[in-house]
Structure 1
Amino acid sequence: MVQDLSRVLLAYWQQFLVILPKLLVALVLLVAAVFLANRLSAFLGGRLRNRSADPLLGDFLASIGKWVMILVGLLLALNILGFSGIVTGLMSAAGVSAFIVGFAFKDIAENFLAGVILAFNRPFHINDTVQIKDLIGHVEALNLRTTLVRTFDGKHIFLPNSLVLKEPLINYTRDGNLRQEFLVSVELGETETPDSVIHIILNFLRSVPEVQQAPRTPYVNLEKATATTVDLRVYFWTDSEDYRRGVLQQKSRLMQQVKQELLGAGVGVPVLGQ
């Protein structure tokens, strides 16, 4: 029994000596693959973070690239060691598994791919104010599966990336300029005319620093007129970087100021609306 065990161990040792050069080459290849994968991950991570405003997605794609390269190195190492059958089996199993997993998690894969598209061809940036369907709020993050939007009343809404990609999206703050409007209904006195009221409103808007002037000058349209009243639609442009405070509150202030300006000019009681 001892002699048989010695012969078996000697045979294994001789086989190990035969395969040792291949094993060393495979080990060096695997170490090199891990080293290059780390360098590639750092390089891709930096490039992706520079091109994408979302560091999470850049880090994830860099990590995917790292593990793909390590897997390629492992498969090459197994092939060098003569385990080509195992490599073929792993590739076949990977293909079948990818098909099964892709079918089972179709929605997750769809949202992930939509997130990649949004990251590189993005209709918004972080902190932009957007509207998707009936939802309006600030974009806070773009994750692998969802886009995080915080509404003006403090709710955090996680929207699937595929929904954000497919639905029409209104960006209120993309270029920093936004036109607003409101309605002014006034009673005309014996001396007032629509033109005189429009002149008062425009003179006031031209004196407000927050209201943009040329080339986006404010203007007023006459929408409706009766014997004693007129409805005037006031249009003006403002900076939309801060939509909730800089736009909505500013519009509210202007509406009140226009009302006071008309009252101070002796115009009949003005009624403001949207």
Structure 2
Amino acid sequence: MLNDLNRVLSSYWQQFLYVLPKLALALVLLVVAIFIANRLSGLLGSRLRRRSHDPLLADFLTRISKWVFMLLGLLLAMEVVGLSGIVSGLLAGAGLSAFIVGFAFKDIAENFLAGVILAFNRPFHINDTVQIKDQVGHVEALNLRTTLIRSFDGKHVFLPNSLVLKEPLINFTRDGNLRQDFLVSVDYGAASSPARVQEQLLAFLRQQPEVQALEGRKPYIILEKTAGTAADLRVYFWTSAEEYRSGTLQQKSQLMQKVKAMLLQAGYPAPNLAQ
């Protein structure tokens, strides 16, 4: 029995010594493949950033290319070791494997495919302000599985790509312009009228540099309700939306304060402004 065990171990040792150079070569090839994958993906990413001017798409394609190059290096290393049969089997059974893996990791595969779709045909760019369900913030990254949004209070929100693709998405900054509104409740008294208040408000809005006056984006006012000598007027105006949080919302707040000061100066008692 000891002789048989010794013979088996000796046989295994001889086989190991025979395969050892191939293993060493395969290991070197794998390390070289990883190095080349990092360099080539980096070069591809820099070229994509220069030509497409789209860092989101460039970063996504860079990650995919890196994994593809590393997979090719792994297959080459397996071929050198002598596992060509396994490599052929993997390639031949790729369809069945994809089905099995896709079924076992349905959510991961779904998010990856959604990420591919979002990378090539998506409703946002880096630093766009978006709303997905109840999450609002700036888009910071698109990964293979998640979309990273930084909320206005500094939180990092990782949303599954499938959710981003399926749910309605509101982009506040893509067009670069945004219409806003607020309500003005004013007591115009017996000496005036809602029409007169509207004229004064419009004249004041046209003088504000942050309010756009282009055709189709001019400010306008709608009379929503009157009761006695009081009126509720809805003010609509267009502003730039390049920076939603610190630009657009602040512009609205400042404009509301200016309107209230103007109405007080015009003699309207205690005007009330609301969203």
When normalised by structure 2's length, the TM-score is: 0.77
Report the Cα distance in structure 2 between the residues aligned to 1:97 and 1:53, rounded to whole angstroms. Answer: 33
Q: CA offset at residue 155 of structure 1?
A: 1.4
- 1:95-154 C-alpha deviation (Å, 9 max, x unpaired): 554433322222111111111111111210111110111111111111111111111122
Q: CA offset at residue 88 of structure 1?
A: 3.5
Alignment of 1:1-274 (within 5 A): 44-46=44-46, 48-49=48-49, 50-51=51-52, 52-54=54-56, 55-67=58-70, 69-70=72-73, 85-92=85-92, 94-215=94-215, 216-274=217-275
- 1:40-65 C-alpha deviation (Å, 9 max, x unpaired): 75675455444442243121122234
- With over 3 angstroms needed to count, the CA separation of the structure-2 counterparts of 1:206 and 1:151, relative to structure 1, is same
- With over 3 angstroms needed to count, the CA separation of the structure-2 counterparts of 1:205 and 1:134, relative to structure 1, is same
User: Contact 1:192–1:267 at 8 Å: present in 2 too?
Assistant: no
- With over 3 angstroms needed to count, the CA separation of the structure-2 counterparts of 1:87 and 1:137, relative to structure 1, is closer
- 1:170-200 C-alpha deviation (Å, 9 max, x unpaired): 0000010000000001112221111111111
What SS does the aligned partner of 2:55 have? coil
Report the Cα distance in structure 1 between the residues aligned to 2:258 and 2:144, rounded to whole angstroms. Answer: 46
Q: CA offset at residue 67 of structure 1?
A: 3.8
Q: CA offset at residue 228 of structure 1?
A: 1.2
- With over 3 angstroms needed to count, the CA separation of the structure-2 counterparts of 1:128 and 1:69, relative to structure 1, is same
Report the Cα distance in structure 1 between the residues aligned to 2:156 and 2:209, rounded to whole angstroms. Answer: 34
Aligned to 2:4: none
User: Contact 2:186–2:232 at 8 Å: present in 1 too?
Assistant: yes
User: Contact 1:42–1:62 at 8 Å: present in 2 too?
Assistant: no
- 1:26-82 C-alpha deviation (Å, 9 max, x unpaired): x9xx9xxx7xx869756754554444422431211222342455467678889xx9x
> Which has the larger Rg?
1
What are the ranges of 5 or more consecutive residues in structure 1 without an aligned counterpart? 1-26
Task: Tell me the amino acid that sits aligned with residue 102 of structure 1.
Answer: G
Q: CA offset at residue 272 of structure 1?
A: 0.8
Task: Tell me the amino acid that sits aligned with residue 67 of structure 2.
Answer: I
- 1:199-241 C-alpha deviation (Å, 9 max, x unpaired): 1111111111011012111011111112210110000000001
- With over 3 angstroms needed to count, the CA separation of the structure-2 counterparts of 1:87 and 1:189, relative to structure 1, is closer
Once the two structures are overlaid, the 10-residue window that deviates more, 100-109 or 134-143, is: 100-109
- With over 3 angstroms needed to count, the CA separation of the structure-2 counterparts of 1:109 and 1:47, relative to structure 1, is farther
Report the Cα distance in structure 2 between the residues aligned to 1:202 and 1:137, rounded to whole angstroms. Answer: 32
User: Contact 2:190–2:229 at 8 Å: present in 1 too?
Assistant: no
- With over 3 angstroms needed to count, the CA separation of the structure-2 counterparts of 1:47 and 1:116, relative to structure 1, is farther
Once the two structures are overlaid, the 10-residue window that deviates more, 45-54 or 120-129, is: 45-54
Once the two structures are overlaid, the 10-residue window that deviates more, 175-184 or 245-254, is: 245-254
- With over 3 angstroms needed to count, the CA separation of the structure-2 counterparts of 1:236 and 1:189, relative to structure 1, is same
When normalised by structure 1's length, the TM-score is: 0.77
Aligned to 1:23: none
Task: Tell me the amino acid that sits aligned with residue 213 of structure 1.
Answer: A
User: Contact 1:189–1:268 at 8 Å: present in 2 too?
Assistant: no
User: Contact 2:75–2:87 at 8 Å: present in 1 too?
Assistant: no
Report the Cα distance in structure 1 between the residues aligned to 2:143 and 2:90, rounded to whole angstroms. Answer: 31
What SS does the aligned partner of 1:124 have? coil
